[in-house]
Copies of this chain bind each other. A is one copy, B any other.
Amino acid sequence: MSDAIGIGMIGLGTVGTGAVQLLQDAPAAMRRRRHAEFDIRRVAVRDPAKVRDVTLADGVVVGDVQQVLDDPSVQVVVELTGAAPAYEWIRAALQAGKSVVTANKAVIALHGAELFDIALAKGVDLMFEASVAGGIPIIRSLRNGLVANRVESLHGILNGTTNYMLTRMTRGEGDYPEILADAQAEGYAEPDPTADVSGADAASKLAILSRIAFQTTGTAADIYCEGIERIESSDIDFARELGYTIKLLAIARLAPGGVEARVHPVMLPQDSQLANIHAEQNAIKVVGSAVGTQVFTGAGAGKMPTASAVVSDLVELAERKRAGATTSIGDMIVGDEAARFASIEDAEIRYFLRMQVADQPGVLEQIARILSAQHISIASVLQKERDLQGGTVPLVIVTHEARERAMQQAVQAIDALPLVDGGVRLIRMEAA
């Protein structure tokens, strides 16, 4: 065992416990890999006295992160806390010449550039397969399997909580507030659900995927982000009527002005693959210049799927270390100055617009004139008599592809019309 890779862990929560279990009870396929022998030498936790689901040797569990960082027998630090100082811990570990494996998407999305630079300078690796889409090996697939491709686009269902909620709303099981309350009660949503429902979590993951797929340097803050908080059951009903399903998508694609990256609710054709990813499942559709379209689906979170990704990183690290590899992972993920996020304003998108309008002649004409002035072409109109509330009727317009900037101006103009009640609801559409 003296040949084993020394592991130091920070955090022994759900995922950390799962990782220890996988390391202690490795499947035969992993044990066969002679390069993948590990020894868990230090584990820092908040309360070392707490009884755990896993048994570790005496003295391994400590109460102070510094003991992990300072231990010369620790070659790889596994950071699985999600805690606020995670960034400092990861940076300190890299600077101490230790490789790091983490599931912390926020740190990688926000501080990735700096951390990869430190890893490169120190000749160690920073690995984060677990940070996006749990056990789906998407980072690895983009980095290795699709290495000979120029990635053209990437569409992901990257947040299980919102997909679970939208799935239930689509099944007619309730409105947003009650479904959210259910999801919280069942543990699918956090007590403070903001990061999930606002799209921020998906945006962090998209920033990470985009860095690998497109060599972008931007962070989640540079990504247009709109959550599902305003999705109503009636949006879902209208979508269904038109043959669409609403999903929260993270989208990145090569565009003339850079890499278009955005997170928002999307209407997808009901028979598309992504529309049929249900409940807390994740999925990523990648279009590569050589491979064409590929779709990866699986559990995006959870104890063992995430732990599986952590251990897959450890095995890769171990094999690289054993082979005497100097770092190469960093070569690929260091951002490219040329690959910038384009503003969503330049994106060309199809739109679904819904509004309550006065049941009077001339309304549609006024709206059509506004759209036309912005060179937005109407694909279809749905006006119904049902739902007559206070003299207004619902009007639905689906457009052909239009520029986001033009659409924003049109929406502003329509919102200002006295005959339109309560403003325009806008949902973007995607072909798949």
Contacts and interface: CB of A to CB of B under 8 A. Distances in A.
A291 B295 contact: no
Interface residues of A, number: 66
A150 B28 CA distance: 7
A291 B315 contact: no
A174 B129 CA distance: 46
A141 interface: yes
A146 B32 contact: no
Given A141-B140, A289-B27, A291-B304, A328 B336 contact: no
Contact of A291 (B34, B150, B308, B319): B308
Nearest to A295: B297
Contacts of A326: 323
Interface in A279-299: 288-299
Interface stretch (A79-87, A131-139, A413-421): A131-139
B135 A294 contact: yes
Interface in A12-70: 18, 22, 26-30, 32-36
Nearest to A141: B137
A291 B134 contact: yes
B290 A305 contact: yes
Interface in A124-155: 129, 134-137, 140-141, 144-151
What is the copy number of this chain in the assembly?
2
A151 B28 CA distance: 10
A149 B308 contact: yes
Contact of A298 (B147, B294, B298, B319): B294
Given A33-B147, A129-B145, A145-B137, A304 B323 contact: no
A292 B298 contact: yes
A177 interface: no
A316 B328 CA distance: 11
Contacts of A32: 215, 331-332, 334, 336
A379 to B, nearest CB: 25
A325 interface: yes
Interface of A: 18, 22, 26-30, 32-36, 129, 134-137, 140-141, 144-151, 213, 215, 271, 273, 276, 288-299, 302, 304-305, 307-309, 311-312, 315-316, 319-320, 322-326, 328, 331-332, 334, 336
Given A290-B307, A294-B298, 16 more contacts: A28-B150, A28-B336, A29-B147, A32-B332, A33-B147, A135-B288, A137-B137, A140-B145, A144-B144, A149-B308, A290-B305, A292-B302, A294-B299, A295-B298, A319-B325, A320-B323
